[in-house]
Chain A
Amino acid sequence: DGGITQSPKYLFRKEGQNVTLSCEQNLNHDAMYWYRQDPGQGLRLIYYSQIVNDFQKGDIAEGYSVSREKKESFPLTVTSAQKNPTAFYLCASSKQGLGNEKLFFGSGTQLSVL
């Protein structure tokens, strides 16, 4: 079964700590995305990548970093510079990253600050 796998499902971060959220897809999609969901708000785009070794900032990239060394993987690091990291993080992919494509989402990671 093809899909997107996010891990872990729940993650806790201590003050000043960097944490990395994993996202793997076996859909053979070129494009991958990271979104953040806060209560009462829509999904906001953090970073996206349309091709291996290239990625672009989304609307709220500050305090986050990504890498795209392999087509299947797009990990997101929440750095200590992100002052309000508690949120539900969603990874998504689409075939080529074009505007009229459907996004396929993972099941998300809930990040909380200790």
Chain B
Amino acid sequence: DQQVKQNSPSLSVQEGRISILNCDYTNSMFDYFLWYKKYPAEGPTFLISISSIKDKNEDGRFTVFLNKSAKHLSLHIVPSQPGDSAVYFCATGLIQGAQKLVFGQGTRLTINP
């Protein structure tokens, strides 16, 4: 039973355009949401996070949007750059208690020159 779903296994975007990656979750108790970026043969690195008290968080070219009623999370990258080509994982968890993140399956983003 997949609690966190990234329904697009891959996404291809032209350099300079906007990349939008999506994530759906089922457990309304989740109150902390993160995006991680992973290059081949490397571990994921933290990209951006948002707590459930907000609906938007921005960090440079990266913006995360949270729609709690729809249980939907999205990551916008604008403008997209070739170095953004990677696998992106969304993850959700609970702020209180032990760290036990639940990860989505990942979306492979390819930025075309």
Tell me the minimal C-beta distance from B93 to chain A in angstroms. 5
B100 touching A58, Cβ below 8 Å = yes
Looking at chain A's contact residues, the main secondary structure is strand
A78 vs chain B, min Cβ distance (A): 18
User: For chains A and B in complex, what number of residue pairs have CB atoms within 8 angstroms?
Assistant: 77
Q: Which of B49, B100, B106 is close to A42, meaning CB atoms less than 8 Å apart?
A: B106
Which chain B residues lie closer than 8 Å to A102 at the CB level? 34, 46, 49
Q: Once bound together, how far apart are the Cα atoms of A105 and B47, in whole Å? A: 13
Contact of A107 with B by CB under 8 A:
yes
A-B residue pairs, 10 tightest by C-beta: A105-B43, A42-B103, A43-B103, A100-B95, A102-B46, A99-B95, A99-B94, A42-B105, A97-B99, A42-B104
Interface residues, chain A, CB within 8 Å of chain B?
4, 6, 9, 31, 33, 35, 40-45, 48, 50, 56, 58, 90, 92, 94, 97-108, 110
Which residues of B are interface residues toward A (Cβ below 8 A)? 2, 4, 6, 9, 32, 34, 36, 41-46, 49, 51, 89, 91, 93-106
